[in-house]
Amino acid sequence: MLHLIFQSPIETAILERIDSGDDVVFLENSVLRILQKGGLCGILTGLLKRNRLCVLADEIDIRGITADELVNGIEVIDYAELVKLTVKNAVIQSWS
């Protein structure tokens, strides 16, 4: 399953619904919550052990965030990679 997370702040209940092997993409203002110094760092680090977590490059660029400010292991992807994830995953869940 592909989870598209738009919500900010991100509710921990959403993160708890992500199953092992699911892909996650953070979009819009949710990217403000995936910083190393953020309150979700521990939860996101745990998810990275069993999931692919991504953020669109354009989303962090617009907000003046650099890749090294993100939780270690979150991938910065482009729109082409987002399309590949949507093709790969038959089920897509949007959280807004």
What is the pLDDT at residue 26?
98
What is the pLDDT at residue 18?
97
The 8-class DSSP code of residue 90 comes to S
The string of DSSP letters for 30-84 reads GGGG-BTTSTTHHHHHHHTTTSEEEEEHHHHHHTT--GGGBPTTPEEE-HHHHHH
pLDDT in tens, the chain (96 residues): 999 999 989 999 999 999 999 999 999 999 999 999 999 999 999 999 999 999 999 999 999 999 999 999 999 999 999 999 999 999 999 999
What is the pLDDT at residue 61?
97
Domains detected in the chain: 2-95 (3.40.1260.10)
At residue 40, what are phi and psi to the nearest 5 degrees?
Answer: -95, 5
